[in-house]
Amino acid sequence: MRARFHLGPVMIDLAGAALDAVERDMLTHPLVGGVILFARNFESPEQLRRLTSEIRALRDPKLLISVDHEGGRVQRFKQGFTHIPAMRRLGILADRDRALALATAEAAGCVLAAELLSRGVDFSFTPVLDVDFGASSVIGDRAFDSNPTRVGELAGALLHGMGQAGMAGVGKHFPGHGHVRADSHVAVPIDERELARIDAEDMVPYRMLIPRGLAGVMPAHVIYPKVDSRPAGFSEIWLMRILREQLEFDGMIFSDDLSMKGASVAGDMIARAKAALDAGCDMVLVCNAPNDAVSLLDGLEAAPLHELRSERMRGQRKVSSEIDLRYAAALKTLQDAFA
């Protein structure tokens, strides 16, 4: 019999391709609301479907299941999945043929989403909305373009394609990770620009896509000292005053992985999670740190996950001949563009 809980605000990961007893117990903890999958959790499409089905059977309401599946060098599942090109290739294509690039971006979104949904994954942490200033190697070709408006256009097309298949997207890394050289996985990046410049450049894609229903946002583990001394993911100024109030974003805010070096300024794992939630994050991620995940679940006190926001992230796979035809057409468009 499934345990019945409200979903919690913590997203955790798994060690391998199948659940063990300890993980089953952790996934039924009231603070847990979701799972993020990595390449180590994948052996084949069939195995992935079994794993996601087992995860769903543990809870009611069902846990959210996510993955970083952007395309290019950040695509966790490969065998049996279509290779999605790096988003930069769509920007390059737009230099030659804007209409074709937009159609291809939409096709990529449809293919990406349909393949994940059919294996039981609710959503991907995509698209990357960072503007490429030629500084950040960790972003690099994950960014669509150096032009903020073009980033918004191509990402909007990708999101439209994802939505056609039944999947919401998560824009990242708010307000922008593309101007700093340091990698927030291993350092604490600092962006010295004034708010006015960040607003005029990095925030353009968010201003374009939030009115179109962007469902999720992930803030950067980057400090913008001209705005706040805290990284954006721990900043009430960035998350509540700017993202919620000024940009009128009403969807889910996910922290970036709290085990990253960029989050270390907030203290230990419990302090990091509390700081992120207090600043305005709806859900916090703890990845590749199983001991910290256990400590967090043992020591954190937090309210349940916001139900309406979380439901917008739940995949809505549409099983119909129309969707099958749409997927087939999108796959052909994608393959023809990058043949």
pLDDT in tens, 199-220: 999 999 999 999 999 999 999 9
Q: List CB contacts of 72: < 8 A, sequence separation 6 or more.
A: 84, 85, 86, 87, 88, 89, 141, 142
Residue with the two structure tokens 């959790």: 41
Q: How far apart are CA 117 and CA 215, in angstroms?
A: 17
- Residues of the chain short of pLDDT 50, as ranges, are 1-3
Instruction: Give residue-wise pLDDT tens across range 19-66.
Output: 999 999 999 999 999 999 999 999 999 999 999 999 999 999 999 999
pLDDT of residue 324: 83
Q: How far apart are CA 254 and CA 288, in angstroms?
A: 17
**Identity (one letter) of the amino acid at 227?**
V
Q: Is pTM beyond 0.85 here? A: yes
Please, how many CA atoms are within 13 Å of residue 253, restricted to the half-sphere of its CB?
A: 25
- For the chain, list the domains and their CATH numbers: 19-337 (3.20.20.300)
- Asked if 336 is an active-site residue, the reply is no
Q: How far apart are CA 56 and CA 27, in angstroms?
A: 10
**Within 10 A of 88 (CB to CB), how many other CB atoms are there?**
20
Q: How far apart are CA 140 and CA 136, in angstroms?
A: 6
| CA distance readout (Å), 291 to 26, 72, 204 | 12, 31, 39
pLDDT of residue 183: 66
End-to-end CA distance of the chain: 49
- Asked if 306 is an active-site residue, the reply is no
Catalytic, out of 25, 60, 185, 278? 185
pLDDT of residue 139: 92
Catalytic, out of 130, 141, 199, 256? 256
